Amino acid sequence: VVKREVVQLITPGTVMEGSMLDEKENNFLASISQLNDASYAVSYADLTTGETSAAYVGRDFHSVISELYHRPVKEIVVCEELAKEKQTEIEERLNCTVSFEGETGISREESYLIKDMPQDLVFVFGRLFHYIKRTQKRAMDHLQPVQVIELNEYMKLDMFSKKNLELTETLMKKGKKGSLLSVIDATVTAMGARLLKKWIDRPLLQEDAILNRQSIVQGFLNNFLYRDEFRDDLTSVYDLERLAGRVAFGNINAKDMIQLKASLQKIPSILSLLSHFEEPVIQTFVQRIDPLEELEQLLDAGIHEDARVSIKEGNIIKDGYSDVLDEYRNAQTNGKKWIAELEQKEKESTGIKSLKIKYNKVFGYFIEVTRANLTHVPERYERKQTLTNAERFITPELKEKETTILEAEEKSIDLEYELFLEIREQVKSYVNKLQQLAKDISELDVLQGFSFIAEKNGYEQPGFSTERIVRLKSGRHPVVEQVMQDEFVPNDIIMDQNTNIFLITGPNMSGKSTYMRQLALTSIMAQIGCFVPCDEATLPIFDQIFTRIGAADDLISGQSTFMVEMLEANHAIQHATNRSLILFDEIGRGTSTYDGMALAQSIVEYIHANIKAKTLFSTHYHELTALERELPTLKNVHVRAEEVDGKVVFLHQVKEGAADKSYGIHVAELAELPQGVIKRAQLLLDEFENNDAEDLSGQLS
């Protein structure tokens, strides 16, 4: 019998089951450590699956926040010495519990966990591991060896971009609905959904790894009928990854085993479906996947289909699995048959037709005779209880049989428990194979999902350019096109080797930010292996994406919109390279007219001269369009609008050149401000423009 320690702390990051877990999300516990060279490292563990990982992050605490941001981390372990304001930042930015652990060493017995780790990274995992041991107080041998994540191998997205681009949750409602994830998630299994979220968090930089994913997606597209059958089969596959985690942890119950069996029973059919695909990358999976038939047979023979969750109440083990158990069960069945026969016999011998043998928890088995028939009760009946309309009796032979039945029941429950534990130990020996199986199935699930949405939403396979060329024909915003009532107006984004900056002008509400986000989201989709919403796409592989797009005031924390704007802009300017993508939306809007304009121009010039990143820069300072003459890799584009009967119609089309007019007053008209206000504003505007046009363009050089 397994013994358990009584004391265990359940913390947000160490929950292993129940309603606090979201099946489509990992439940990570993370730790942060500062290494000897003052740079930071993080480590993750998901106790439900046993996976663990660690990564170097860099010297900048902001990078730590960015790394952890929007990940399904519920709790972060740090040392008590970490500065108070950093603790606060973790709590507020990441909405996480902060816990403390000072110990970081790893003992020799546990060193198998860190065999692939560089020595200085060990401490960050050590902190996590000690915290887990201290709170859980039981063997943690289900944890897998730590996987070292090289963040340089993935596209970097800072906190602002993750937030502004609404990759996995939306800005306003903090829900999945309306996020990129919600649009491209066509996974069938919960483990597939979790893997997709991880992929979105870490787009790839290696072209061959991306092409590898693409060819599986293409394979599923070529043979979409088989893919749909595969999807059907996946609906019967349970969460193998978490099941494997619980197998390893040792708290799997009979229901879990039934789910495991049902899942394994689907694997042969999946393998046979997959063997129809010609693509070598898919065939690799077919070679590798082990259907674990022996395990399936063991579970099928041993575990009852309707087994209860509680492993101590019997009804778990199938008839025929154990002779001894079958014997106990016969004793119970026979006893109950004997009692039924006794009832018949007593009815006949006493002549009381309404006589019944009943059972309740207080008195056990008894004979019940209605008041009208009491005169017929024989002497050998022993009175037990008087009810209003009946009396209850026992006889010695009834009580003797009762004892036999109850004892057999007790013994069979004990035996079932033992048998169950034996089976559980056997299942545990398959844990590595189960983890590999879960991994393979999750990956195939995400990729079939990519092919499913590519077909459903009309996505195309993007190509990649090593010459920093953007060539997106009829591109669409993946999220907005899904929620729009009307048809989405596609737009081209074509930036050759000699074009780095698009300066975008045009009225509000016309779709400037949609246009900008579209490129960022399309690039992220492309770099996770997904097809993209357009007619044709060639894209650079971006090393980083930076955004500065709208943000709400954060009054109480004391930072005004404009400070947030400048911090985000500065972050981009300091870290971007010529392989990066920058989206700057209305830089300078948060301050007064002229210094905002001065800053916007100065920033554009800086990017043009020093960074040379691909940049989409939208602005309401029409005066900046004059820059096209000065800066050779900058190009003006504008969003078209037309006036019909004095009203503004937005065409959502982006064209070359600068916008020729501003439409704020027309928006005011659409909002039905009093005609007097509108007319006066128009008059004032005309005066400003006439007096000013030449002056400003002169100052731009």
Taking CB under 8 A as the criterion, the residue among 126, 475, 507, 540 binding a second copy is 507
- CA dist 115 and 122 (Å) reads 10
Question: Given CA atoms 190, 196, 200, 206 in this order, what sign does their dihedral have?
Answer: positive
- Residue 551 as a binder of a second copy (CB under 8 A): the answer is yes
Q: Please, which of residues 165-184 interact with a second copy by CB under 8 A?
A: 170-172, 178
**Of positions 147, 310, 403, 497, contacts a second copy by CB under 8 A:** 403
The correct pick among 344, 386, 426, 497 for binding a second copy (CB under 8 A) is: 386
Smallest separation (angstroms) from a second copy to the CB of 167: 14
CB atoms within 10 A of CB 272: 13
The single-letter DSSP state of residue 119 is G
DSSP state of 470: E
**Dist CA 590 CA 583 (whole Å):** 17
Gap between the Cα atoms of 138 and 553, Å rounded: 47
Among 438, 470, 613, 665, binds a second copy (CB under 8 A): 665
Binding mask 350-369 for a second copy (x = CB under 8 A): -----------xxxx-----
Give me the phi and psi of 480, to 5 degrees please.
-60, -40
Instruction: Between 109 and 672, name the residue whose CB sits nearer to a second copy.
Output: 672
Quick one: tokens of 95? 């909405």
Q: Which stretch binds a second copy (CB under 8 A): 61-69, 96-104, 312-320, 669-677?
A: 669-677
Question: Which of residues 11, 251, 332, 559 is near a second copy by CB under 8 A?
Answer: 559
Question: Applying CB under 8 A, does 598 fall inside the site for a second copy?
Answer: yes
> Is residue 589 within the footprint of a second copy (CB under 8 A)?
yes
The residue (of 651 and 677) whose beta carbon lies closer to a second copy is: 677
Closest distance between a second copy and the C-beta of residue 275, in Å? 43
Instruction: Tell me the closest approach of the beta carbon of residue 58 to a second copy, in angstroms.
Output: 17
Q: Can residue 389 be called a binding residue for a second copy (CB under 8 A)?
A: no
- Among 79, 76, 80, smallest CA distance to 64 is for 76
Residue 594 interacting with a second copy (CB under 8 A): yes
Q: How distant, in Å, are the alpha carbons of 45, 152, 449 from that of 179?
A: 25, 25, 16
Least distance in angstroms from the C-beta of 669 to a second copy:
9
Alpha helix segments (H runs only) across 464-592: 480-483, 512-527, 561-575
Who's near 189: CB < 8 A, 6+ residues apart? Answer: 234, 237, 238, 239, 240, 441, 442, 445
User: How does 115-133 read in b/e, with b if 16+ C-beta sit within 10 Å?
Assistant: eebeeebbbbbbbbbbbbe
Helices 84-94, 61-68: crossing angle, 10 deg rounding:
30
Q: Smallest distance, Å, CB 91 to a second copy?
A: 13
CB of 84 to a second copy, least distance (A): 12
Please, which residue, 4 or 371, has the CB nearer to a second copy? 371
Residue 366 CB, shortest distance to a second copy, in Å, is 12
Contacts of 610 (CB under 8 A, 6+ apart): none
Q: Does 662 bind a second copy (CB under 8 A)?
A: yes
Pick from 15, 151, 281, 696: which binds a second copy (CB under 8 A)?
696
**Residue of 23, 319, 687, 697 that binds a second copy (CB under 8 A):** 687
Rounded distance between C-alpha atoms, residue 100 and residue 102, angstroms: 7
Sheet of 647-656: strand order equals 156-157, 544-548, 581-585, 614-618, 501-505, 634-644, 647-656
Rounded CA-CA distance 372/63 in Å is 87
Q: Is position 569 an interface residue for a second copy (rule: CB under 8 A)?
A: yes
Q: How far is the CB of 573 from a second copy (least distance, A)?
A: 6
Site for a second copy in 599-638 (CB under 8 A): 599, 601-603, 605-606, 610, 620-623
Contact (Cβ atoms closer than 8 angstroms) between residue 536 and residue 493? no
Q: Could you tell me which stretch among 148-156, 182-190, 494-502, 693-701 binds a second copy (CB under 8 A)?
A: 693-701
Of 198 and 384, which has the nearer Cβ to a second copy? 384
Angle at 101 between CA 99 and CA 106, to 5 degrees: 140
Asked if 699 interacts with a second copy (CB under 8 A), we say: yes
Per CB under 8 A, which of residues 407..436 are in contact with a second copy?
A: 407
Is 676 strand, coil or helix? helix
Residues 458-487 that bind a second copy (CB under 8 A): 479-480, 483-484
Q: Does 380 bind a second copy (CB under 8 A)?
A: no
Task: State which of residues 595, 630, 656, 660 lies at the interface with a second copy (CB under 8 A).
Answer: 595
* 385 forms part of the interface with a second copy (CB under 8 A): yes
Does residue 649 touch a second copy according to CB under 8 A? no
What angle do the packed helices 207-222 and 431-457 form, to 10 degrees?
70
Work out whether 513 is an interface residue with a second copy (CB under 8 A). yes
Among 566, 576, 581, 648, binds a second copy (CB under 8 A): 566
